[in-house]
Structure 1
């Protein structure tokens, strides 16, 4: 892999590499990149890998190879304290509750000693905190060089450091957000680098689709209303009816949400609704009209005081942009794009998105010549890695597939129960819970149950608890959503006598090496939801191209997701474990063979008694393993 990356750097060409767990792909691209002396941009999907590269891997290799390179970490605006926004929040006459006031005071104290302004330095500040939007800037509300705190701006300081560094570490979201908005500094940075590396590239397409689209949400309206009211009362009290203007915006946000979901619908989890189901209804069109009218009224009120301060000039621009977005969503979607409505218990968001990232990525790659390296442990289930390459527009790029050096045949087993309820049958979740309980008892815990839906997550979690209580088992059941993910993982690692039941966020990016995790059960094949608007649009395009959506899309997606879930099991050379896929279709349907081939080469078991016997061997001391084999 290192030689292939070095060749791509020399030739300024593209390269796609699937490197399975244990290959050491991070060093395999970092070493040739550092030795080449090339200026580089590294993009990752997760903050964990971003921090690992910046804080651990790059410093270690820089020292070992004795190369004098400078490295910078660049995050999005929402990661950095905005001193001007902090000042506004501190003096907001609208008032704040006690918790918000206490958090703001803590941030203000920290602001006097931080050099980077990176909010990740603040212990105890949840990244989902409602205070963060109060003390960070967005592209819409940033005053740029007109800001009174511009000289000390942490965002600008981070960008200056990035522009002056040899290697810059960013994330996929930042890369695509900047491609669309030219707002994070990546647009200025990209033409100046010789190498662009995308690790965790399997998440690149979805990050791109998310950020290359256009959105209008009720939370956008409420944020704008809050800023308008706070700044209006602080800097121009009595010059306009700020309460009335803000109130109309808030009412428009409520009507947009009601128009998007309907008054009778109770939303308990994130849901995607088809645009055709709601977007063309009279009440929804009327709600969009009121959003446009409320935004225009705000712009007119702000125009009267626009010259009073840069804050008002920026608010005018935001108001006009909101009116433009409302008008845009009242007209048909652009060709090659799909629309839907994202709904959560607190927010409704209208989305218009491209079906994939191929056009956007090709445009970037057609610019100044450089090496483009894309790598991940999971990029497809064939030699050409079509699952990744097609939607990324990399059909002609050289590909390299590297299997894991781990001894899967000796250390791992795969069990697919044939005599098992089908996933569509009501008895299926209960059967999964009972099988998981038997496996966990054989190990004394040390088990993951990965589900494809939140509904199955809750049912299986509850039934597992009941089963252990009935039998008097001292096995703890940890269920996603009951505590934050990091805390849940800490509980699992600190108590081996545990079963963790998790959905999508636990299928990847979770690393539990050693004997803390020795059994992974997957409830059913992770096919994409057929009623998802984006999935429907992709299926329609494949049908129009005369292709088979089931084979070319659904099975391909399931193969990659299954591979990711299975990847939680064996994380080091000495790990041993059992993978159970509780879906008889893997063993009975013709496409099941393709799905099995996508998995690591584990030894296949056909009977439950064999699976439980294997788990019992894992509880014995390691010195006994060679005898067992």
Structure 2
């Protein structure tokens, strides 16, 4: 058996050396040059090396054990001491079945990591089949049998959140916040009296725990269930991993049942895991993916949720391992009992609180059809329990989430790709089936399928040509006769697809009738059924577009850079009406966000929020302040000497880009420049990036991962983010990570955008101006407030915002006063020329304020 060696890198006589010693021995073992390590280890095949330094720095990725792998897939030890970390890795891995050794030997390419895993597994006393341990740790909740009627919700909230209250003992570094206390009390009151509530709570208030605690006490005392919905999966995970753990330290909440449910595509599919493992064993995966796969197998034996979001996987392997509704055979799957998605579905039914996201919430609301027909007396289409309380966090985003969930989309090029897959599969199947069925019958089916496909191809090409002829920019709205013609063409396509459904169904039936079963037949049958499910989904989308009425807008969307992005979309216009009809049996709905309030003379400021949330006049609305002091923490500049913003205005772009360059030269890293247009961003970068060579520019492309950009930004003191719409909200960069925010123009949507234009008309029954005031301007103000909210995240933050759009201070603009009055109290806008701004920045830098 090999040995575990520890290495510490040091420099001696201008040479990089490494000191090696055995694990748990203090005596020095040997000191050699780094470059001599490969030959040193070539004679020690079974040894493995841990290095107390970054592997990249010492170029030892092949020999050294990859601790990032162990931290990601096996265990995250808290200790900084290397020997303690190794001891913890060994303790955890020793519990795994020894039979994993043969698998590790075949699919882990890194010698050091492979040797370490084998070294530990050989010490295991577990001789059970490793397959039995896959997802054996999944958490399974049981429904609460009785409530605690003695709990007084308001009294409990006061005990928890008041100054010197219970939270102070539960949270390290906790500070009493009046706004958090008031938020919890307002929610407790709504829960007790059974009413709806809209509540705006400033950033840094601790709103998550403020709504979780009263809702949790209500669930425990009254035996009801609650759903918490967030915009992002990241916030879902934060609530579950961080806030819920705090919640369980409070009195009467130690046995609180909480589960997280996401879309099926976020979870590991066990059937696919075995399929990909076979590929790895047959050397059909590259080394990087094979190593990640080994990590997933190890992780699957520890995970309590089976949620792939927690793993650092490449996009391709993630796609290969995750579930989707086209592949899923539900109860027919041999791994159904350990399917993470269905276990989480069952947990949701038994939980006090279910944490989900807006997208999943509206999948539930969308007639609960996502998962097909009821099965064994259970409504598989019902994704969530019959809940009594609904809390919508980041409620300002609910409108866009609802629009996305309730829209129908038909993509001609993608349908053509689906049909190509079906043709290939049917041809492969017929090659096999001709040994079992009449060849003449198969030939007739094949001719029928080919003729239908030829006709379909012609219709798809014709519809693409017609759409291109009618194009008006990237998006074109269809109504009246134009819509009738479009719907007629789609109906023809739908009729043709019935032939593909028929032939595909016949193929599945014949495969099913073959008595001599093997893996190839099962695989073909499954693949044809999966593609048929895709075609049926296209039929559903076409039917949705064809059924469009006055309450929806139909438009064609295209991306100039990608011809295959062409899509026909039908979206709901009257989101207010739609929202008000959703979950009518839910007794308490609480909408919470940092940006629900928009200044409006003569009203409480929640009129816009009521419209987009479908909340009636009877819905209570509360605006609470923030614990931040914007008079001391924020400097807000608007240059008075740049030209007015106009679309494609060269004078504006030249002036704005020059000021951006000069500002970044002074402030440096920890900065972000926000655009509403990729074109404006690219033009600006083309003019200034050459003079910012000492900074690391993180530039958001259309398909870039925000997570990757943010991770790179946090790890660099000289990083500057250039971002578009995705960076306007949901980004948390406290302290030095973000101290300067440059905003190019106010975040107006294009008023001629089909959906925006339709909603302006919907809300402006009397005039276009009415729609602008009721919908368009408040939407922009809410987006601007979200962007500004990226800057000050904690009480100790200080930052500068520079808005390169003079319209914000132009009293002639009808929205200017409304926008300024909607900013956080204490926000002081300084309208001065560019040179004065630069002088102020130099002063703030010199005084170390910035």
Deviations along 1:262-317, one digit per CA (max 9) or x if unpaired, are 399999xxx543235996597x6786366325412211212323535485667656
Partner of 2:173: none
| CA 1:451–1:490: 2 relative to 1, 3 Å | same
Partner of 2:468: 262
For 1:249 and 1:27, the matched residues in 2 are separated by: 59
Whether the aligned pair in 2 keeps the contact of 1:446 and 1:517 (CA below 8 Å) is yes
The TM-score with structure 2 as length reference comes to 0.64
Partner of 2:645: 423
> Which residues of 2 match residues 129-208 of structure 1 at below 5 A?
129=316, 135-139=321-325, 142-182=328-368, 183=370, 188=382, 190=384, 192-208=386-402
Whether the aligned pair in 2 keeps the contact of 1:89 and 1:134 (CA below 8 Å) is yes
Measured after TM superposition, the shift of residue 366 of structure 1 is 2.2
Partner of 2:87: none
Count of residues in correspondence between the two structures: 608
Whether the aligned pair in 2 keeps the contact of 1:292 and 1:323 (CA below 8 Å) is yes
> Which residues of 2 match residues 110-509 of structure 1 at below 5 A?
110=296, 114=300, 116-126=305-315, 129=316, 135-139=321-325, 142-182=328-368, 183=370, 188=382, 190=384, 192-218=386-412, 221=415, 224-225=418-419, 228=422, 232=426, 237-238=432-433, 239=442, 241=446, 244=450, 251=457, 255=461, 258-259=464-465, 262=468, 271-275=474-478, 280=483, 288=490, 291-307=493-509, 308-309=511-512, 311=526, 319-320=535-536, 322-323=538-539, 325-326=541-542, 329=545, 331=546, 333-344=548-559, 345=562, 346-367=564-585, 369-382=586-599, 383-396=604-617, 397-424=619-646, 425-468=649-692, 474-481=694-701, 484-509=705-730
- Worse-matched range after superposition: 437-446 or 402-411: 437-446
Deviations along 1:212-242, one digit per CA (max 9) or x if unpaired, are 1222224652574366457646766445549
Measured after TM superposition, the shift of residue 374 of structure 1 is 0.8
For 2:283 and 2:405, the matched residues in 1 are separated by: 33
The answer to whether residue 227 in structure 2 is matched with residue 14 in structure 1 is no
Whether the aligned pair in 2 keeps the contact of 1:525 and 1:562 (CA below 8 Å) is yes
| CA 1:223–1:106: 2 relative to 1, 3 Å | farther
Measured after TM superposition, the shift of residue 73 of structure 1 is 1.1
For 1:494 and 1:91, the matched residues in 2 are separated by: 38
- Worse-matched range after superposition: 23-32 or 212-221: 212-221
Measured after TM superposition, the shift of residue 518 of structure 1 is 1.7
For 1:278 and 1:348, the matched residues in 2 are separated by: 21
For 1:278 and 1:518, the matched residues in 2 are separated by: 54
Measured after TM superposition, the shift of residue 420 of structure 1 is 1.4
For 1:212 and 1:557, the matched residues in 2 are separated by: 20
The answer to whether residue 215 in structure 2 is matched with residue 33 in structure 1 is yes
| CA 1:340–1:83: 2 relative to 1, 3 Å | farther
Partner of 2:119: none
Deviations along 1:390-425, one digit per CA (max 9) or x if unpaired, are 122113211111121111012212111222112112
- Worse-matched range after superposition: 453-462 or 353-362: 353-362
Measured after TM superposition, the shift of residue 328 of structure 1 is 5.7
For 1:162 and 1:618, the matched residues in 2 are separated by: 52
The one of 747, 750, 769 equivalent to 1:529 is 750
- Worse-matched range after superposition: 291-300 or 506-515: 291-300
The one of 244, 260, 265 equivalent to 1:73 is 260
Which one has the largest radius of gyration?
2
| CA 1:125–1:244: 2 relative to 1, 3 Å | farther
For 1:540 and 1:402, the matched residues in 2 are separated by: 32
- Worse-matched range after superposition: 210-219 or 167-176: 210-219
Whether the aligned pair in 2 keeps the contact of 1:338 and 1:534 (CA below 8 Å) is yes
The TM-score with structure 1 as length reference comes to 0.85
Whether the aligned pair in 2 keeps the contact of 1:77 and 1:137 (CA below 8 Å) is yes
Measured after TM superposition, the shift of residue 593 of structure 1 is 1.7
| CA 1:321–1:570: 2 relative to 1, 3 Å | closer
Deviations along 1:490-531, one digit per CA (max 9) or x if unpaired, are 333333233321110111111111123222111111111112
For 2:256 and 2:749, the matched residues in 1 are separated by: 43
The answer to whether residue 24 in structure 2 is matched with residue 24 in structure 1 is no
Q: Which one has more relative contact order, counting CA pairs under 8 Å at least 6 apart?
A: 1
| CA 1:323–1:395: 2 relative to 1, 3 Å | closer
Measured after TM superposition, the shift of residue 121 of structure 1 is 4.2
Deviations along 1:108-134, one digit per CA (max 9) or x if unpaired, are 9835862544232442233xx4x6565
Measured after TM superposition, the shift of residue 538 of structure 1 is 0.9
Partner of 1:603: 828
Whether the aligned pair in 1 keeps the contact of 2:392 and 2:592 (CA below 8 Å) is yes
SS of alignment partner, residue 221 of structure 1? helix
> Which residues of 2 match residues 613-628 of structure 1 at below 5 A?
613-620=839-846
The one of 218, 243, 248 equivalent to 1:62 is 248
| CA 1:363–1:501: 2 relative to 1, 3 Å | same
- Worse-matched range after superposition: 554-563 or 241-250: 241-250
| CA 1:9–1:255: 2 relative to 1, 3 Å | same
SS of alignment partner, residue 350 of structure 1? strand
For 2:381 and 2:508, the matched residues in 1 are separated by: 30
Whether the aligned pair in 2 keeps the contact of 1:43 and 1:169 (CA below 8 Å) is yes
For 1:599 and 1:489, the matched residues in 2 are separated by: 26
For 2:587 and 2:288, the matched residues in 1 are separated by: 49
Whether the aligned pair in 2 keeps the contact of 1:355 and 1:537 (CA below 8 Å) is yes
SS of alignment partner, residue 248 of structure 2? helix
Whether the aligned pair in 1 keeps the contact of 2:673 and 2:744 (CA below 8 Å) is yes
Structure 2 residues without counterparts, runs of 5 or longer: 1-182, 372-378, 434-441, 513-524
For 1:19 and 1:431, the matched residues in 2 are separated by: 37
- Worse-matched range after superposition: 107-116 or 499-508: 107-116
Q: What is the root-mean-square deviation of aligned Cα atoms in Å? A: 3.7
Measured after TM superposition, the shift of residue 534 of structure 1 is 0.1
